[in-house]
Chain A
Amino acid sequence: MDLLLVDWSFILEKFFLIVIVVLASLGIALYTTFAERKVAAVIQDRRGPNRAGPFGLLQPFADGLKLIFKEDIIPLSSNKALFILGPGLAMVTALLTSAVIPWGGEMDFFGRKVSLQIADVNIGILYVFGVVSMGVYGIMIGGWASNNKFSLLAAIRGASQIISYELAMGLSLIALLMLTGSLSLKTIVEQQMSGAWGGFLGWNIIYQPLGFLIFIICAFAECNRTPFDLPEAENELNFGYHQEYSSMKLGFYLFAEYINMFISSVLMATLFFGGYDIPFVNEASLAESWGQNIVAFMGIGSLLVKTVIFIFIFMWVRWTIPRFRYDQLMDLGWKKLIPLALVNMLITGAVVLWLNK
């Protein structure tokens, strides 16, 4: 009987939340591929895909169908189990991060308070880092199992790049954590919301501009986006670590990249730009007059708007800046960003100490 004493509505609520978040991430990643092509086009004075459906809006589905119906080739000399595991791992780690992100405030369903966060872990940021560093296994295993020298080179590049930039990323966040004093993403957002000007002055970007700069550069490197897309440098390594992949396995790799991009955009919005905070609006007083659910939806909208802006910046940078050379990449990571992050950490620590005295 003890089994039945579980709070079933809690499980149901979380289940639906997970389904919605996963489907939404997939849908957004789907349309990010489309947006990428459109942004690339307008930046290069072209028009972009506009044939499938109105304004080409069905293009991602056409791409997806094409990938699904392609022949799925597993090279004879590859390590089959790992070859199949690679893209799956990339996809899973890309999606896992979304579990700790607070997508909005609380909603009211028939008197039941529902938090729009799958799991409010008190070590949220640590969890994110753990999962993100797992992401490198997708690339490593894929590149290794392909039994192709280009793929292997790309995998090595990817691994060393991600490990190097994770350091600077972590150090830049330590300065942020000194301010917030909490690793829970929900607490971080709530602290930002309590700032002046309807939360706007509480945003961490105001107190940690340097930290944000380091974080965004590292986020580019972690997502393997230009200017740090060395693992898939087309003109050097043909196609990089997913060279031997075809059909939906390739699709998974490409898709995981876009999900990563989406998740890191959400993370940046959450950590530095107030998360689901609507700037210049006092949510608590608004919730009294308009109702909690509407304000929660507006919060989700606010978070999504910030996310879309970041995704656009990702693309904008991709179609502007040429790729780094490998030694430049390592130079930037180890000799520039890490000392910078350390200095940032020291200054923040000193200021925090001085203010608390």
Chain B
Amino acid sequence: MQSLTNRAKVLKLKPLSLWERLYLPGIFKGMAITFSHIFQKKATINYPEQKRPFSPVFRGLHVLNRDEEGREKCTACGLCAVSCPAEAITMEGAERKKGEENLYKEEKYAAKYEINMLRCIFCGLCEEACPKDAIYLTETFAPANYTRKSFIYGKPDLLIPDPVTQPGEYETAKGKIEEHKANTRAKKTD
């Protein structure tokens, strides 16, 4: 019968020849193989300093977006919470007051916005559901903490830095992907 790939090997169960029974040639061959591996490219990287490039569709921790003037985009419509299969998102909406136009883009905003990162399955449905481009999944991943409670991320943890008051941090948060890609490329060459 023809196999699917034509790469199947027929097992030969012949008794070992004298050369094979000497065992030492085989050992030296194996040792030569392991020795050659000393000079081969390492399969691992120095993790915290170097990072592997992510795929463009990688889904990590969430970030709440702002517009160019630094106003929060989220209107607390609740679509993300509805779409969330893990029911990780809770929010409370509030009405924008006079004088808060520089803080919130629309008349309604999220007074409280929490994502339970222990429940979240990082499916990215919230990002797809959001009509206001307010929530994004980033490349940050594997958060570590001591308590379960600290895995419930509130607005301070989620909001992207303000581009007006903290332009530097905002740029790094936004340009992290580009910088990261350049970084891994540079590390690869050396």
Chain A residues at the B interface, C-beta cutoff of 8 Å: 42-47, 50, 213, 316-317, 319-321
In the complex, what residues of B have CB within 8 A of residue A45's CB?
37, 40-44
Cα distance A44–B43 in the bound complex, in angstroms: 9
Quick one: closest A residue to B26, CB to CB?
A: A321
Assuming the contacts A47-B46, A50-B46, asked whether A42 and B30 have C-beta atoms less than 8 A apart, the reply is: no
A–B pairs, 26, beta carbons within 8 Å: A42-B38, A42-B42, A43-B34, A43-B38, A44-B37, A45-B37, A45-B40, A45-B41, A45-B43, A46-B42, A46-B43, A47-B42, A47-B46, A50-B46, A213-B24, A316-B31, A316-B35, A317-B31, A319-B34, A320-B27, A320-B30, A320-B31, A320-B33, A320-B34, A321-B27, A321-B30
Number of A-B contacts (CB under 8 A): 36
Size of the chain B interface, CB-CB below 8 angstroms? 15
User: For B43, what are the chain A residues with a Cβ–Cβ distance below 8 Å?
Assistant: 45-46
Query: Residues of B with Cβ closer than 8 Å to A?
Result: 24, 27, 30-31, 33-35, 37-38, 40-44, 46
Check B34–A316 contact: CB distance below 8 A: yes
Closest to A213 in B: B24
* Shortest beta-carbon distance from A120 to chain B in Å: 36
Q: Are B44 and A46 in contact (CB under 8 A)?
A: yes
Contact between B30 and A47, CB atoms less than 8 A apart: no
Q: Residues of A contacting B38 with CB < 8 Å?
A: 42-43
| Cα separation A317 to B28 with both chains bound (whole Å) | 9
B34: A residues at CB distance < 8 A: 43, 316, 319-320
> What is the distance, in angstroms, from B144's C-beta to the closest C-beta of chain A?
17
Q: Which residue from chain B places its CB closest to the CB of A328 in the assembled complex?
A: B23
Report the bound CA distance from A320 to B24 in whole Å. Answer: 13
- Besides A47-B44, A213-B24, 19 other CB < 8 A contacts? A42-B42, A43-B35, A44-B37, A45-B37, A45-B40, A45-B41, A45-B42, A45-B43, A45-B44, A46-B42, A47-B46, A316-B31, A317-B27, A319-B34, A320-B27, A320-B30, A320-B31, A320-B34, A321-B30
Q: Which residues from chain A contact B31 at a C-beta distance below 8 Å?
A: 316-317, 320-321
Residues of A within 8 A of B37 (CB): 42-45
Q: With A and B bound together, what is the CA distance between A312 and B128 in angstroms?
A: 56
Roughly how many angstroms separate A75 CA and B9 CA in the complex, as a whole number? 53
B134 to chain A, nearest CB (A): 40
A320 partner residues in chain B, CB cutoff 8 A: 27, 30-31, 33-34
Q: How near does chain A come to B33, taking the closest CB pair, in angstroms?
A: 8
Please give me the residue from chain B that is nearest to A45 by CB atom: B43
Query: Which 9 A-B residue pairings sit nearest by Cβ, starting from the closest?
Result: A45-B43, A320-B34, A42-B38, A43-B34, A320-B30, A320-B31, A46-B44, A43-B37, A45-B42
Contacts of B35 in A (CB 8 A): 43, 316
CB distance from A112 to the nearest CB of B (A): 46
Chain A nearest CB: distance from B165 CB in Å?
37
Report the bound CA distance from A155 to B144 in whole Å.
Answer: 43
> From residue B185, how far is it (CB to closest CB) to chain A in Å?
20
Q: How far is B139's CA from A193's CA once the two chains are assembled, in angstroms?
A: 65
Taking the nearest CB of chain A, how far is it from the CB of B22, in angstroms? 10
Q: In the complex, what residues of B have CB within 8 A of residue A50's CB?
A: 46
CB distance from A211 to the nearest CB of B (A): 15
Q: What is the CB-to-nearest-CB distance from A222 to chain B, in angstroms, rounded to a whole number?
A: 18
How many Å from the CB of B34 to the closest CB on chain A? 4
CB-defined contacts of A44 to chain B, threshold 8 Å:
37
CA A43 to CA B39, docked complex, whole Å: 9
Nearest-neighbour CB distance to chain B for A179, whole angstroms, equals 24
A46 to B35, CA, bound (A): 13
Bound-complex Cα distance A267 to B33 (A): 28
| Residue of chain A at shortest CB distance from B39 | A42
- Nearest CB in chain A: distance from B87 CB, A: 39
Give the shortest distance, in Å, between A188 (CB) and chain B (any CB).
26
Q: Which chain A residues lie closer than 8 Å to B24 at the CB level?
A: 213
Task: For B41, list chain A residues within 8 Å (CB).
Answer: 45
Residues of A contacting B42 in the complex (Cβ-Cβ under 8 angstroms): 42, 45-47
Docked CA distance A213–B43 (Å): 34
